[in-house]
Structures are given as structure tokens and as C-alpha cells.
Chains A and B, each alone.
Chain A
Amino acid sequence: RKEVEQDPGPFNVPEGATVAFNCTYSNSASQSFFWYRQDCRKEPKLLMSVYSSGNEDGRFTAQLNRASQYISLLIRDSKLSDSATYLCVVNTMDTGRRALTFGSGTRLQVQP
């Protein structure tokens, strides 16, 4: 079982739509959670951290459910420029490993 699992998509949505991605993680000791965005042929960049209480940044809302071990990302009022791959990222320190574990990404295509 992969440590971080995501639906690869693609999610094809019209402009203005609301779209949600989920991600599950297998290690209950995971401590930090993030969403990164990767444009085609570009490097990943941090979109937002995910806090236990949930957090919002403009049109983007991230939530964490520790009991069920999943993270979600909600995008409201989708823009063409939101088209990208969204990577779920988890950090687990119990193994002493100071590195991030990435999901394989969910591709979003926003259409006019």
C-alpha cells in the first residue's frame, strides 16, 4: 500500500465550478500535511499547508481528518489558471526521516 494515495484524475471541470480532491495517508503518526501544485513541465510549488482545524486561502480550503487519515482540498470558482496537478504531501517524523512523502498527484483541467 502506498503511503500517500490520490485519485490521479483527470478531473475535467468547467470554469466557475467547485471541485474537491481527497488524499489518504497510511501512517497514523504523520504530523504535517501540505498541498503542492505542479504545472506541466514545471517543478512543484507549495500551495498551502493543512492544519488540524482546517484552513482557507482565498478560493482554496484544506481540511484534515486525522481519525480517517485523509486530507482534502476544495477549490471554489475554478479558473483556467487552476489547471495543474495537485500533490498531497505528508511528513512523518517517527522513523527519524526528515523528508516529505508525496502522493502521485491529481490532475485538474479547467475548461472554458
Chain B
Amino acid sequence: DVKVTQSSRYLVKRTGEKVFLECVQDMDHENMFWYRQDPGLGLRLIYFSYDVKMKEKGDIPEGYSVSREKKERFSLILESASTNQTSMYLCASSLAPGLTEAFFGQGTRLTVV
């Protein structure tokens, strides 16, 4: 059974903290993505990566960075958490975006206080 695993379901962090969200997939997919999901706004792409050490900005990269040191792992970093980054974060992976299914992790509900 294919799997995308996010390290935490729920996180509470303080404003200004550096936050790491980890995502691991076991499908040997080259393409991995980070989205955030907010009511009324849907899923918005933060960053994606199509190969190890490669990254591309999505629609809302400000305040975020990513790391892809290994094929199976894609990390999202909030350099200095702010309250407007309170959201549901979803990691996904895909063999061929737009051609094959994207598989999602269970999501991380991040609250910044």
C-alpha cells in the first residue's frame, strides 16, 4: 500500500520559532509537494521538488523554505513562524504530476500562537 507519512498530525508553536514539517514517501516518486489548506481558499502550493536537491517555488513561498536531501524525504521549514501560518499543511508525492495520481499525507494541523 502506497504511503506518504507526515511526522506530526498536530503541532502548536510560538511566534518566531523555527518549525520543521517532515514528509516521507515510500513509492520512489521523484516529485514531492507541499500545500497548505485554508477554508475558502482550498489547497495552495507552497513549494515542490522534482528531484533530490531541486526545488521550485509555488504560489505562496514567502516565509517558507524546503529541503530535499534524499528522494524519499521532503521537509518544509517555517523560518520564523507567524500567526498567519496557522493552517493545515499537506505533503504529496507523484510519479508524473498531471499524468498520475498524487498521493497525500494525512496532514499536519499547525497552530502558531
- Interface residues, chain A, with chain B CB atoms under 8 Å away: 4, 8, 31-32, 42-46, 87, 91, 93, 97-105
* Cross-chain contact of A98 among B44, B90, B97, B105 (Cβ < 8 A): B97
| A to B CB contacts below 8 Å, 26 in the list | A4-B42, A32-B99, A42-B106, A43-B90, A43-B106, A43-B107, A44-B43, A45-B104, A46-B102, A87-B42, A91-B99, A97-B48, A97-B56, A97-B58, A98-B31, A98-B56, A98-B98, A99-B33, A100-B94, A100-B97, A100-B102, A102-B35, A102-B42, A102-B43, A102-B44, A104-B40
Closest B-chain residue to A49, C-beta based? B101
Binding site for A on B (CB under 8 A): 31, 33, 35, 40-45, 48, 50, 56, 58, 90, 94, 97-99, 101-102, 104-107
> Which residue of B is nearest A31, CB measured?
B98
Q: A43-B104, A44-B43 are in contact. Are A98 and B50 (CB under 8 A)?
A: yes
In the bound assembly, the distance between CA atoms of A95 and B69 in angstroms comes to 25
Contact between B104 and A101, CB atoms less than 8 A apart:
no
Report Cα–Cα, A3/B50, bound state, in Å: 22
Q: Taking CB as reference atom, which chain B residue is nearest A3?
A: B59
In the bound complex, residues from chain A placing their C-beta under 8 Å from that of B40 are 8, 104
Q: Which 8 A-B pairs have the closest CB atoms?
A: A91-B98, A104-B42, A43-B104, A102-B43, A32-B98, A46-B101, A98-B97, A99-B48
B contact patch SS? strand
Q: With CB as the reference atom, state the residue of chain A lying closest to B30.
A: A98
Closest chain B residue, CB of each to CB of A105: B42
Q: Note all chain A residues with C-beta closer than 8 A to B104.
A: 43-45
- Check A99–B41 contact: CB distance below 8 A: no
**Chain B residues near A42 (CB-CB < 8 A):** 106-107
Is B97 touching A91 in the complex (CB atoms < 8 A)? yes
Q: Is the CB of A99 within 8 A of B97?
A: yes
From B41, which residue of chain A is reached at the shortest CB distance? A104
Q: Are B48 and A103 in contact (CB under 8 A)?
A: no
Rounded to whole Å, the gap between the CB of B1 and the closest CB of chain A is: 13
With both beta carbons as reference points, the residue of chain B lying nearest to A45 in the complex is identified as B104
| Chain A residues whose C-beta falls within 8 Å of the C-beta of B102 in the assembled complex | 46, 100
